[in-house]
A and B are shown apart, each in its own frame.
Chain A
Amino acid sequence: MEELFGVPTDRLMWILLAVCAAGLALLAVSALRNRVSFRMAARNVPRRRAQTVLVVLGLMLATMLFSASFTTGDTLTNSLRLQALENLGQVDVEVRAGGSDPSGGQPFGETTAERARYFDASVAGEARDRLSGTDRVAGVAPLATETVPVTAKGTDLSEPTVDVLGIEEGSMRGFDRITTASGRTLSVGDLGENEVYLSADAAEGLDVSGGDVVRATLAPTPEAGMNAEANAGANAGANENAAAAALAAGAAPAPRPAELTVAGVYEKGANPSASSSMVMPLGRLQERVGEEGRINSVLVTHEGPAVEGGASTGATVDALGPVLRENDLEAEPVKRDAIEQADEGGESFTSIFLLFGQFSVAAGVLLIFLIFVMLAAERKHELGIARAVGMRRGHLMRMFAFEGALYALIASAIGSVLGVGVGWLMVRVIGEAFAGSGFDIRFATRPENVVIAFCLGMVLTFAVVLISSWRVSRLNVVRAIRDIPEPDSRGRTVKGVLLAFLTPVAGALLIFQGLQAEQMGLYMLGISLVVVGAALIARVLRAPERIAFTAAGILLLALWLFPGSLGPEGMTEGIDLFFISGVMIVLAGVWVVIYNSDVLLGAIVALFGRIRGMPPVLRAAVSYPMQSRFRTGMTLAMFSLVVFTIVTMSFIAAAFGSIFSDTDRLSGGFDVRADAGYAAPIPDINEALKSAEGVDEKDVAAVGTLTGLPLDAKQKDTDRRADTLFVQGVDGGYTKNVGYGFKSTVAEYDTREEVWTALREEENTAVISADLAPTRENFAIGEGQPSIKLSGFYGDDPALPDDLYIRAESPESGEARDLRVIGVLEDSAFFAPGVMSSKATLDGISGSPLPAQGYQFRLADGADPGAVTKDLEKAFAENGLQAVAVEKEIRDGSASQGLFNNLLMGFMGLGLLVGIAALGVIAARSVVERRQQIGMLRALGFQRGQVRLAFLIESSFVALLGIGLGVALGAALSVGIVDSFAEQIAGIQYTVPWTTLGVIVGLAYVASLLTTFLPARQASKVYPAEALRYAE
């Protein structure tokens, strides 16, 4: 991860280190001037070791979450970078024809849907000349590259997409050498007439080795075909030229595979290419594709290590400017782009984990506050004495600040290192999710990021410590010495009255600000402050506290569970609203519970009090937490906050998971998807199926074909720049059989069938996927920008405007059309991304009939998609057909998604440690605090087991109340969230994830019991006389 919060990490590290160092220096100076305070603080740290361990554990959690998020990001960045470097090697800049790499993604799976246009090979020489004056460029090389299917002769094995590189040996100085696994360099010049080198991955996939023969379908390019057309009559039997002629005439050529002998297998060095590749001399490849003297790429490498090669990109691209313009070419800064993409990928993961970690960090802040307030409560007597003998409030505050700084130092150091371990575990799980995708997760962590996590944790912890120290220092000397509770002023102090009246004023300001900025979060916070202020004023005016606060709590709950019910139309609701609403809902819930604790207590005693032996235990157990409202409220808030977020997350995951259960809705009714390469398209799939060996024609009920064309596209009548976009053209087979529905259509069509019929029958119409349409609600996280920006309508409104057009122009033919958008597909139309029009429309724009690149098969009842997939791949191996059973693809996707969701929930679940640590701290403190009372209970006849049970019930009460509140609030909020998703995404259902809930509740509860068990056992073991004798 190179950047955090938009600041480069190395700079951020120094800023944070400077802040930490300045803070520590101030403390050190203060410690020198207040040695007694410092000595007292330092001696307090090891005073109760078990408690210190709990305090450090509680304080380190926030740091650990930061560190784990960073480590996850670092590892993904590293893995993506390494993969990019493996594919690119020393290649830093690649010169290609424009429009070869359109945005909008590859609509046809793994297959390269378009080949790079060829240009004159002399461009490489021109580029070399332009760059020869600089010492930063280490080499310039011409390259021809094709992506074709390859089969092993005599076996059934095939590799549908193999990158074939045509290399000029003499130009490769400065680039990687092609080397075998044993380190031997392979020379392209040594290759015979029909010989090639094969990459280790391709050789493994085909199960071939040196000396074996493979068949590669190297078809001539369309340009070569055009040239050949003139000669077609003269030499009609010439195989390749005939194929080119057929292509030029609009029909797909019959694949004509060449037989090639594998002269060697290399491990690395053939760049740029995917892992499955093949190398031959440049001249031979040019000859085979009919492009003699022409290339489709010029490679540039810079001096220095591969990863740093991207740095000089700007100067190189500038220097190449005239050559590029003259030949209508583009220089792609491939290395820099790949590194940037890798870094963005890592950063987006860090952002996701940091975002979802916010709740745990919030709970962690509460814990730090609670810990220090409890430390102060424990030392109330001695603090009173210290004040009595002349220490000022400032001394006490400094004493706690020193102690807090020591804890924070230890906790942040441990937390930042432990976080790396947690991150390591997390990336292992992510690795599982990516298993089988060919993406290797390689662990990495940048020291800068560990330092940043340490500093962030330190700064956060210390800030909370300072606030709690200030609160602690404001004690009354006599009350502290005599351990008399602070009187409840019921808010009628000057400060209380000021707070009561200023809160709604602050709320009104926030409402105003929210309305101005159209920010729902600010607006709702403002309303909440007004509600809280009203309750505070009611208390000052002597209204019953319970009624005032309960009413305010319920009102807040209602407001936040249904956000937007009060807000004006058109307010922005971002993901931040989820965080704010989560915190507010939980705080409101805790407020209501705490102010009605006696009712709850009565109900519990009435319910369980009939069990023999339980009444005294229950009474002792439940009364304490209800009496200590502050402690219980804080612990409840911590538990509820974390459980609430995990539960909400699990409900959302379950709702989205319910989509996956409806595979028909996702697949559009097709059972098998297949992609074919450009090298050897299948002319007529329906005809081809009749004669396809091994495929039972009866298994296939219908086939739809898809064609892709890169077009310069933008919304009509806007002044935006046109983006290059793959538009898909679908045939009648597709539109008649597809089951995808629409969330928004133009007024004249009532049903989805009508829209699909219109797309088929009316040229220049289009439908778009849901991600291209702006929506009123924006809950997307970490997703990229859509491939084309559209505006002036909302995809979640049922009616589309009549005049929504996309202007699409072919850079090749120059033909432009205005495509009328007649429908926005449902979000669940997984396999219909981007813009979709009819094949006839695309053929028109292209100026010639386009070959099909993708196929979707609807199978007959009873046909096995897995078997048909294999049969299709085998029958069309030489066309490079790659097929996949849609249901399996969806299931695999769902499993990966599920794994990732579980990881996210697990990460959020780390926050539960906060609540559990809080319970441990409270239980340990209670044992000390109530020692005499425990002695009394034992004197009265409480058995040891009853004392233990009372403590366990007490912790259970708080833990279960917190967990229950979290589950209830999470489930309640999820209703609204799932509903709003369901409005946009058909197929989403409110589903109760019973198993996940069971695991969350079970784990949280058992862990909290375990933490309390030790203090409870300790309490029960004390002799009554010893306990009664005890004075803190």
Chain B
Amino acid sequence: MLARKKTEAEGRGGSVVDGVDGLMIEAAGVQKVFEAGGLRVRALRGVDLGIRRGEMVAIMGPSGCGKTTLLNVLSGLDELTAGEVRVDGEGIGGMSDKRRTRFRAERMGFIFQSYNLIPVLSAIENVELPLLVAGKKPKKARRWALDALEMVGLPEQASKRPAEMSGGQQQRVTVARSLVNNPSIVWADEPTGALDSETSKEIMDLLVRLNREQRQTFVLVTHDAAVAARAHRTIRMRDGNITSDEANGSPKGEGR
């Protein structure tokens, strides 16, 4: 069944982008039901999706359409109710919590709207945290974290705590943290949602540049059409279903 769905997803994947090859994420019949206070909410109603390696995909839709839920189940942050998800060739639905956690630590990076930096740690300490979790030596972790901060243009802010930085700077630190362990895929949930338009553009420039330079797969959830326009593909959702999946004919690259 997955093979058939893959073909459908590929077909829906639309345009072929430079440097994008093979499927990084494959989802078939993904359903997610929340139960709360006796109510059953079907957040995802059987989503089929394929995302290629190195592709930058934006997921758009109105509030409550299920886009964040889709990101959570695809990334293994949440359990599926039904269906199957394969990331980088591995089915994450059947993984134990422990293995899935390790898989996330090794292959994924996350960027969130509210940054979710650990407030009691400095920028560099926040960035090196995934490396330490992955068992890297502290000295090496510190060096890589510094490189990541340089990459996002914040080397001089390394010792500052989140509360001492602007929203844009905090989101850059989040970006550095998401990329520091060189993940295959970066999940970004409303990465510019809390930022003004200027900072928002800066962050998107950064993500687009990194996507191009590092060849990592980016999945972005956003409300902002301008942000979505910077991706290779835009998937639109409504009521837990994908309603459209279109390639952005000419994605607006860095600086545009």
Contact = CB atoms under 8 A, between A and B. Distances in A.
A933 B118 contact: yes
B120 A626 contact: yes
Interface stretch (B59-67, B97-105, B217-225): B97-105
Contacts of A1028: 72, 77, 112, 116
A531 B142 CA distance: 42
A939 B134 contact: no
Contacts of B116: 932-933, 935-936, 1028
A941 B134 contact: yes
Interface stretch (A15-23, A29-37, A615-623, A778-786): A615-623
Interface string A790-829: 0000000000000000000000000000000000000000
A862 interface: no
A641 B110 CA distance: 44
A942 interface: yes
B165 interface: no
A623 B110 contact: no
Q: Interface majority SS on A: helix, strand, loop or mixed?
A: helix
A616 B130 CA distance: 8
Given A940-B129, A941-B130, A932 B120 contact: no
A1024 B78 contact: yes
Contact of A613 (B79, B97, B129, B135): B135
Interface in B87-128: 97-98, 101-102, 104-106, 108, 110, 112, 114, 116-121, 125
Contacts of A994: none
B105 A940 contact: yes
B78 A619 contact: no
B163 A616 contact: no
Given A612-B135, A619-B129, A620-B118, A1026 B101 contact: no
Contacts of B41: none
B112 A1025 contact: no
Q: Which of A936, A938, A941, A1023 has the most CB of B within 10 A?
A: A941
Nearest to A615: B132
Given A619-B132, A941-B105, A932 B114 contact: yes
Contact of B138 (A609, A932, A944, A1023): A609
A6 interface: no
Nearest to A618: B132
A543 B192 CA distance: 41
Q: Which of B73, B132, B135 has the most CB of A within 10 A?
A: B132
Q: Which of B69, B77, B110 has the most CB of A within 10 A?
A: B77
B16 interface: no
A932 B119 CA distance: 12
B133 interface: yes
Contacts of A616: 129, 132-133
A1028 to B, nearest CB: 7
B78 A1023 contact: yes
Q: Which of B73, B125, B133 has the most CB of A within 10 A?
A: B133
Nearest to A616: B132
A187 B102 CA distance: 94
B77 A943 contact: no
Contacts of A485: 163
Nearest to B189: A1028
Interface string A1003-1025: 00000000000000000000111
Contacts of B75: 939
Q: How large is the interface on A (under 10, 10 to 19, 20 to 34, 35 or more residues)?
A: 20 to 34
A939 B183 CA distance: 13
Interface in B117-175: 117-121, 125, 129-130, 132-135, 138, 141, 163
A657 B112 CA distance: 63
Nearest to B110: A939
A937 B133 CA distance: 9
A512 interface: no
Q: Interface majority SS on B: helix, strand, loop or mixed?
A: helix
Nearest to B69: A1025
Given A615-B132, A620-B118, A941-B133, A936 B110 contact: yes
Contacts of B135: 612-613
Contacts, number: 87
A623 B77 contact: no
A627 interface: yes
Contacts of A944: 97-98, 101
A942 B77 contact: no
A619 B118 CA distance: 10
Interface residues of B, number: 36
Contacts of A1026: 78
Given A616-B132, A620-B118, A623-B121, A940 B78 contact: no
A940 to B, nearest CB: 5
Nearest to B121: A623
A630 interface: no
A14 interface: no
Interface in A579-625: 609, 612-613, 615-616, 619-620, 623-624
Interface string A936-955: 11111111101000000000
Interface in B194-222: none
A715 B110 CA distance: 88
Given A623-B120, A626-B120, A942 B78 contact: no
B77 A1023 contact: yes
Contact of B77 (A624, A933, A939): A939
Contacts of B106: 941
Q: Which of A615, A620, A937 has the most CB of B within 10 A?
A: A615
A1025 B133 contact: no
Given A615-B138, A616-B133, A1025 B98 contact: no
B101 A941 contact: yes
A624 B104 contact: no
Nearest to B141: A615
A754 B101 CA distance: 84
A205 B112 CA distance: 86
Interface string B50-65: 0000000000000000
Nearest to B113: A1028
A933 B126 CA distance: 11
Contacts of A942: 101, 133
B130 A940 contact: yes
Nearest to A936: B116
B67 to A, nearest CB: 13
Contacts of B133: 616, 940-942, 946
Contacts of A613: 135
A1025 B132 contact: no
Contact of A619 (B68, B112, B121, B177): B121
B165 to A, nearest CB: 14
Contacts of A1029: 68
Q: Which of A624, A943, A1028 has the most CB of B within 10 A?
A: A1028
B69 to A, nearest CB: 8
A138 to B, nearest CB: 76
Q: Which of A616, A932, A938, A942 has the most CB of B within 10 A?
A: A616
A1025 B78 contact: yes
Nearest to B109: A940
A888 to B, nearest CB: 61
B72 A1025 contact: yes
B59 to A, nearest CB: 15
A929 to B, nearest CB: 10
17 contacts: A613-B135, A616-B132, A620-B118, A626-B120, A932-B114, A933-B118, A938-B101, A939-B77, A939-B108, A940-B110, A941-B130, A942-B101, A943-B97, A1023-B77, A1025-B72, A1028-B112, A1028-B116
Considering the complex of A and B, which 5 residue pairs feature the smallest CB-CB distances, nearest first? A941-B105, A1025-B78, A1025-B72, A623-B120, A616-B132
Given A935-B77, A941-B133, 16 more contacts: A609-B138, A615-B132, A616-B132, A619-B129, A620-B129, A623-B121, A627-B120, A936-B116, A937-B118, A939-B104, A939-B108, A940-B104, A942-B133, A943-B102, A944-B101, A1024-B78
Interface of B: 68-69, 72-73, 75, 77-79, 97-98, 101-102, 104-106, 108, 110, 112, 114, 116-121, 125, 129-130, 132-135, 138, 141, 163, 177
